[in-house]
Amino acid sequence: MSQSVSERTRIKSDRYESGVIPYAKMGYWDAAYAVKTTDVLALFRITPQPGVDPVEAAAAVAGESSTATWTVVWTDLLTACDRYRAKAYRVDPVPNTTDQYFAFIAYECDLFEEGSLANLTASIIGNVFGFKAISALRLEDMRIPHSYLKTFQGPATGIIVERERLNKYGIPLLGATVKPKLGLSGKNYGRVVFEGLKGGLDFLKDDENINSQPFMRWRERFLYCMEGINRASAATGEVKGSYLNITAATMEEVYKRAEYAKTVGSIIVMIDLVMGYTAIQSIALWARENDMLLHLHRAGNSTYARQKNHGINFRVICKWMRMSGVDH
C-alpha cells in the first residue's frame, strides 16, 4: 500500500540522534512525491562536491531553500513540517557531463508571500548557492502555479499598447541606443535623439549607466530628449519616443524622475535590473497607475546568467520581471 507524504517523511525518534543528519533522511527527498498543480517547481543544475551523493545534494538544496537547518529540531513538531518541507523528487544526469545533475524540487505555495518577488527569491536563491554540499548550482527554470502568479500584477501593457501609441502596425519597430552613452552634454544628447528619430527610428533609449552625472543632469537630459522627440515627430508626421532612464540611488529619487518624465510628455520610462526586485515592483506599480510603459535594461544579468553551471538562467529572470510588471 502506498504511503502518504506525511507517512514517508514524518519525524521519527531515530532522527533526533546527535550530529549532522543527511537531508535526504530529514524528509527533503521523496521520489514518490506526486506534484500538485499548486506547487512552485524549480529545476536546478547541481554539481555536488566530490563524494556527495546527487540525491543528498538535491535534498540539501530543497532543505536549505525551505525549512531546514543542519539537523532536526523539536520545534519542527510545532508546524505542519511534512507539508512545508520542499521535496526533491527527481534527479537526472545532465547529458554530456560527468558531474552535473538536474534536480527537480517542489515547494508548497504557502511558503511564499503573495505578490513578493523579494520573498520568493529569498527562499529559492537566498541561501543555497554557497552551500557546502555543492560546488556549483544553477537555477535553470521555474514553473509558477496560477494561484501564486495571480498575486502579482504582471505587465500592464506590452507590445500591443506600444504599437497603438506609436500608431505602427504590421512592421517591425526600429530602435537604437544613444552613443556614446557617457560624456554628451544635454543639448548634444537631444540632438542625437532628434537625428536618429528623424532618420527613421521609431524610438531611442538611454543606456544603463546614464543617470545624472556632472556632465549631464537628468532634468537636462529629459528636456532635451523631449525637444528632440517633438521636433522629429513634427518633421516626419509620425509618433516617436525615447526611453528615459529613471534609475537612481533611492526610490524617492526614482519617483521624482518618473513624475517629471510624465510631466514633460514622455509615455515610457526605463529602469535597470540592478535596482533590485522590490524597487522594480514598486516602480512597475507606479507605471500601471500612471499609464506609462516600463522598459527594463538587463544591466547586471551576466553576473547571474553567463556561467552555464552556476547562477540563474536568464529565462527565470525574465519570468520574474514579467511577474513584477515590466512591459519589456
Q: Report pLDDT digits (tens) over 33-74.
A: 999 999 999 999 999 999 999 999 999 999 888 877 666 676
Catalytic residue positions?
A: 179, 297
> What CATH number has the domain spanning 159-324?
3.20.20.110
Q: What is the pLDDT of residues 208-258, one digit of tens each?
A: 999 999 999 999 999 999 999 999 999 999 999 999 999 999 999 999 999
Q: What is the mean pLDDT of residues 158-173?
A: 87
Residues 277 and 122 sit within 8 Å (Cβ to Cβ): no
Percentage of the chain beyond pLDDT 70 is 91
- Residue keyed to cell 520581471: 321
Is the pLDDT score of 20 beyond 80?
Answer: no
Say whether 287 sits in a helix, a strand or coil: helix
User: What pLDDT does residue 1 have?
Assistant: 47
Contacts of 144 (CB under 8 A, 6+ apart): 40, 319, 323
Q: In sequence order, which ranges of the chain are alpha helices (DSSP H)?
A: 5-9, 54-64, 81-84, 117-124, 146-149, 159-166, 186-198, 218-236, 251-263, 277-289, 301-305, 314-324
Q: What are the cell numbers at 243?
A: 526611453
Q: Does domain 5-148 have CATH number 3.30.70.150?
A: yes
Within the chain, all domains assigned CATH 3.20.20.110 are found at 159-324
Report residue 78's pLDDT band, with 50, 70 and 90 as the boundaries: confident
- For residue 76, give the DSSP letter: G
Q: What is the mean pLDDT of residues 295-305?
A: 90
What does residue 47 show for φ and ψ, rounded to 5 degrees? -120, 100
Contacts of 110 (CB under 8 A, 6+ apart): 83, 84
Say whether 122 sits in a helix, a strand or coil: helix
- For residue 27, give the DSSP letter: T
Within the chain, all domains assigned CATH 3.30.70.150 are found at 5-148
Q: What are the cell numbers at 293?
A: 510603459
Q: Which of 144-148, 161-165, 192-196 has the lowest mean pLDDT?
A: 161-165
Cα gap 6→33, rounded to integer Å: 11
44: left (phi over 0), alpha (psi -120 to 50) or beta: beta
CB atoms closer than 10 angstroms to residue 100: 18
